[in-house]
Structures are given as C-alpha cells and as structure tokens.
Structure 1
Amino acid sequence: MRHFSLDDEPLGEKNIYISPVTTPTSTVDEEKCLVRIPLRDARLHTKDVWKYIVQNLPYFMLVISLAEAIIYFECNADIRKLLRFDPDKKYEIWRYLTYMLLHEDVVHLTLNLFLQCTFAFFLETKQGRLKVAILYLAGGVTGVLGASCINPGILIGASAGVYSLLISLVADLYLNYENIKYKAYRGICISVLVLSDITFNLYHFWSREEPVISWEAHLFGGLTGLILGLALYENTKGLQQERKNICLTFSSLLYFLIFTTLVIITIDSGASKCANKMNS
C-alpha cells in the first residue's frame, strides 16, 4: 500500500481520504494509512472536453466551407462563370473541382456546409483528415464526371462531395460493425438522410422545379464514398485482415474501372463535339 501525506495533494485535483484500518479498537496511526481517492475537478473536465474538440475539429472541411461561403457572398457573375462546370468547356480541368465552391442560394449553401462539417467531424476522429479529404474531393470529381456523361449541363454545388461523405459512413459501419456503439441508430440516421434526399430529388424531377438537381452527381458521389470508403478506411477490431484486404483490392479496382470509364467517355464526347463544331 502506498502512503500519502495530507500535504501531498496533486495540483488541480480534489481528493477525499479514507483509512481502511480504522476500527473502534484500532491503535494504528490513521494518517499513515490514508488512501487518496481523487475527485476530478469540473474545470479540468471542461478543459478536457474543449481540448478534445479542438484536436478533432475538421480543419480541412472548415477551410473549404469558409472558401465556399466567401465565394458565395463576395464573387461576381464573371468569377462564378469561370469556376462552374460547363459541359462545353470540358478541357478546363479546374472546373471539375471548383464547381464545388459555388452554390445556388443561401439554403443550398447552409445545408451543404452543415452536412459536410458534421460528417467530417465524426469521420476524421476515427479515419483521419487525409482520408476524409480524399473522399470529399474524389466524390466531387466523380460526381461531375458521371453527370456530364449521362446528362450534360452546367453544374454547381458540393452535394456530390457531401454525398460521398454520407455514404462512406456505410463503409465505416460495415468495417467496424463489431466495435461501433449505437450501430442501429447510426444505420437508421443514414437511411433517413438518404431516403429524404431521394424523395426530395424525385419531387423536383417530377415537378420540374428550378433549379434542377443533378441526381447523377449525387449517385456517383455516393458510389465513390462507398467504394473508396471500403478501400481507404481502417477497421479497428472489426473485420479480419484477410477480409479487409479483399475489400481494399476489390474496391480499388472497381473505383479505378468506374473512374477511367467516365474519363474516357468525357474525353470522347468532348472530342466529338469539337469535331462537329469544326465541320459545321
């Protein structure tokens, strides 16, 4: 047993002391047998919470969100035209990423900023900032490629990247199913968000309301989140390593095949359009 002096109290801790040998007939000096039981200071607990939050803030996503907000409120029409995805300017490579910085209105902007920061916070604490950034950007690029191949049109918004993060939660849930608390509630939340978005998209499609929502970008962004999530995300005491290696190999090949196919179709359609313009 370790002995403590009453004056030997660690700074910042509140303690109570008991003596395990105290009895009505005890003759032992009680102070020499005191056992310290620390009571955490509420101020230290609050400090730990803030430290956890600061360490796990999604800094990459916060910077991206800030840039999106600044561009929405400060940029003029000429800059927006330079940044948006235009199917007639497919060879201007920057447009496949910069279109994500633009939004139609305040509701569109606010919803995307809230969702991408929320998803990034929960994912980065487990999977790391780099992997989440890769999924967000890859979802945006693959989403616009898919939209340009199926239904070419001017495209703006970060929804494909947001959807990539959302559906990547399914990959995280699968890889770490045995280790996740409240897995049923998490699955329900993901399902509700996906079904709500699908319902919203179908409503706009049937009612033909403006602005038109690109379901193609959402679809390919979500596929990217699922496929790359299975390839990149870590499993902590979840799947056996052999099964994880199978997920990594199969998912990587599948994404490479999808991405390469979309790029080839995009280049081919762009070349055909240029040839038609020259002939005319």
Structure 2
Amino acid sequence: MSSISNSSWCTAENSSNESIKFIDGVSGKSSNLKVFYTVDSEIKAQNANNDAQNCQILLRTNERIEQKSKSDSRTVCFGKTLQFVQEIKEFYTWKVPWIIILLSVVQVVVYFVACNVSIARLTFNPHLKTNIWRYFTYHSVHFNLTHLMLNVVLQVLIALPLETTEGHLRVLIVYFSGVVFGAIGSLLFNPTQSIVGSSGGVFSLLFGHMSQCTLNWRIISYRSFRMTAILLLFFSDLLFSVLKHIYWSSVEPKISFSAHICGSVAGYFTGLLVFKKEKRRRSPTEY
C-alpha cells in the first residue's frame, strides 16, 4: 500500500515538474520573442534613421554638385568671354582709317579751294608725261561735284575694312599703285587724253579686297559674298562706262577704261605682295 502511494506521489511530482518546465519553456520562448521583436524594431528604426540621414546626405551632395556645376558653367562662360575678347583685341583692334580720310579731305579741299593754275599743274597731261608728280597728284582733281562725291564715297566705303585690317601703309601702297598704273595705262592706250579723278585708286582698293580673299581663302569669312560683290561692282561700272561711251560719248567727263582696268590689275597684284596672310580664322562679324 505504501509502495503504491509512493509511486503515485512520485508520478505526481514528476508531472508537476514537467508542467513547471513546460511553463518555464513557454515563458522563455515568449521572452525570446519579445527580445527579438524589440531588437528587430530597433534595427528597423536605426535603418530608417540611416535612410533619412543618407537621403539628407544625398540631397546635400546633389545641391553641392548643382552649385559646383553652376559655378563651373559660369567659369567656362567667363573663360569663353575672355577668349572672345582676346580674339577681338588680336584681330579686330580698331584702327582709324586716317589715310583714306586724309586723301578724301585733300580731294575735297582741292576741289573747293584750288585755283585753275594749281588744278592744271596737278592734272595728268600726256603731253607733259615727264612731270613725274602728275602720276600721283591727278587723283586729287575732279571734274565736277558729282564726280568728286562719287569717288570719295566709294573709296571710303571700300578702303575702310581694308585699312582697319591690313594697316595704313599697305592700303596707301595699294591705292597709289592703282593711281600710278591708271595713269600709265591711260598714257599707253589713250595717249592724247588727260585724266583726273581717283577712279584708278578706287578700283585698286576694290581689287585689293580680291587679293585679300585670295591670300586667305580658306580662313576668311564671307569670301564668296565678297568676291561676288567685287565682281558685280566692277562689271556694273564697266557696263555703265560702255553705255555712256555709246549713247553719251560727247558728255563730259569721259570715262577712261584703261585707267580703271590698269588700276584694278595693279591693285590686285600689289595686294598679293603687301597684304598679310592670316593664320587663324576671322570671325564672321568682321566682314
């Protein structure tokens, strides 16, 4: 009887121990779950905080990059502006075309001030061909006011871009080459005709543009346009001269074809000799 009771008591004790262990196990698992969830929530919170910090860092980085890019773009723009200004200074330094202005002033003064005796001494007279100064001075004498104004306006318009780019001395040489060879051509082909006016110099300047285009054909701006304008002006003058010779041959002043043509040829070849050849392309704004 006692053995039965002892065994039953042992059994009850074991079962109570097992139930205690079971309860302890369940409470341990629940506590582990709580710890796990707590750690997990902390990790998630930390990750969220890190993500927020990373977003802020990324935004700041983007702002810095944008600011730097704007600064770089301003620097590049400023650098290009300085480069452009340097090119302007190098190629387009303004030179007052005082040579052609001075020549025009002399022509106007001679027309309004000079007396008949002075005009006779300045005119190119083929019967006085040994007077060397006449080959140079006849350009300052004009037949009437229309003749004067036409030549002055044309020579200023044509010479201005040449003198500002090629310099005073080169343009002066080209101009007087046309004047001198215009007189020589008139002497050869019209040995009895006296000549006045600066048409030989005007046409030498006109074809000086052509020689400048020839020297710098690959780098000069608007070369085709300039060549077309030169040829149109030359052939329009030639056509007018032919029509005047046919229909108004008795009207003064008569046009000297030889002076125009010889002045043009002299201006072209003299320009090839004295004008400079550029090494860099000019800006389209120059011409």
TM-score range relative to shorter protein? 0.5 to 0.7
Cα distance in 2 between the residues matched to 1:23 and 1:108: 78
Deviation at 1:87, TM superposition (A): 1.5
| 1:1-280 correspondence runs (5 A) | 25=60, 35=71, 37=74, 55-152=94-191, 153-207=193-247, 208=249, 209-237=251-279
Q: Tell me, what secondary structure is at the counterpart of 1:179?
A: coil
* TM, length-normalised to structure 2: 0.65
* Per-residue CA distance 1:182-227 (angstroms, 9 max, x = gap): 1121111111101111011101211213211111101110110111
CA contact (8 A) 2:141 2:196 kept: yes
* Per-residue CA distance 1:52-95 (angstroms, 9 max, x = gap): 99932211111111010111111222211111111121122211
Task: State the partner residue of 1:18.
Answer: none
Cα distance in 2 between the residues matched to 1:23 and 1:75: 85
Unmatched tracts of structure 2, length 5 or more = 1-56, 79-87, 281-287
Deviation at 1:106, TM superposition (A): 1.8
Letter in 2 for 1:119: I
Structure showing the higher helix proportion among its residues: 2
Cα distance in 2 between the residues matched to 1:80 and 1:70: 12
Unmatched tracts of structure 1, length 5 or more = 1-21, 41-48, 239-280
CA contact (8 A) 1:119 1:166 kept: yes
Letter in 1 for 2:277: N
Number of aligned residue pairs: give it: 213
Q: CA RMSD in A?
A: 3.4
Specify whether residues 185 and 23 from structure 1 end up closer, same or farther in structure 2 by C-alpha distance, changes over 3 A only.
Answer: farther
User: How many percent identity over aligned positions?
Assistant: 31
- Larger radius of gyration between Structure 1 and Structure 2: 2
